[in-house]
A and B are shown apart, each in its own frame.
Chain A
């Protein structure tokens, strides 16, 4: 079985400050990892994904994440946030031969002017 833990339910951060949203997963098999973003009253859209290769993955809007297999983590980072980054962020995992996506409970990022 797989599971995803997002350690912070709410993260307030000042505009232009750096941010890290934490995600840990548990799985006994090889996995693919994802970060999705949800703006108010909208669906989820893909921010970035790790499938294989380089453990540092770059996504849209200046976000990046690093896959750490030994720590089973996939933390999301941005060096300087904007007001428009205020949203809900979800970490997700699926395994290589599976067809179900497992989501964390989400982290609400609020950027303060």
Chain B
């Protein structure tokens, strides 16, 4: 199993350009998440999904959109990139059961907006 796979791994955008980050998981998890990681701020939740066709806003959703058309995929879109969106983006997925839960992370996408 590959786990959680993010593409691309690196990207440089010009201000105002758009792009989509793809996250794929092969563990049949219901929940998927997009986080951004910035120095000194830990991981902040952008958007999340509790199942196919559903999405919800997290802590810092402005400037981002998401879609979950298939259970295994969770897309993060930037319609008009801004320098403040320079960050490392992590996708994660999780399961829940009566015995608990755990989140699994991708390797990250390093995005620079110039």
Residues of A within 8 A of B (CB): 6, 9, 32, 34, 36, 41-46, 49, 51-52, 90, 92, 94, 99-106
Contact with A along B31-75 (1 / 0, CB 8 A): 101010000111111001010000000100000000000000000
Give the number of chain B interface residues (Cβ < 8 Å): 27
Known interface pairs A51-B100, A94-B101. Does A105 touch B94 (Cβ–Cβ under 8 Å)? no
Known interface pairs A99-B31, A99-B94, A105-B42. Does A49 touch B106 (Cβ–Cβ under 8 Å)? no
Report the Cα distance A90→B40, complex, angstroms.
Answer: 12
Contact with A along B79-114 (1 / 0, CB 8 A): 000000000001010101001111111111000000
Q: Is B100 a contact of A43 with CB atoms below 8 Å? A: no
Q: Is A49 a contact of B107 with CB atoms below 8 Å? A: no
Residues of B within 8 A of A100 (CB): 33, 45, 48, 58
Known interface pairs A51-B99, A100-B48. Does A105 touch B108 (Cβ–Cβ under 8 Å)? no
Task: In the A-B complex, list the 7 residue pairs whose CB atoms are closest, starting with the nearest.
Answer: A51-B100, A105-B42, A43-B105, A103-B43, A44-B105, A43-B107, A103-B42
Q: Is A52 a contact of B100 with CB atoms below 8 Å? A: yes
CB distance from A25 to the nearest CB of B (A): 13
Q: Which of A9, A41, A51, A101 contacts B92 (CB 8 A)?
A: A101
Q: Is A49 a contact of B40 with CB atoms below 8 Å? A: no
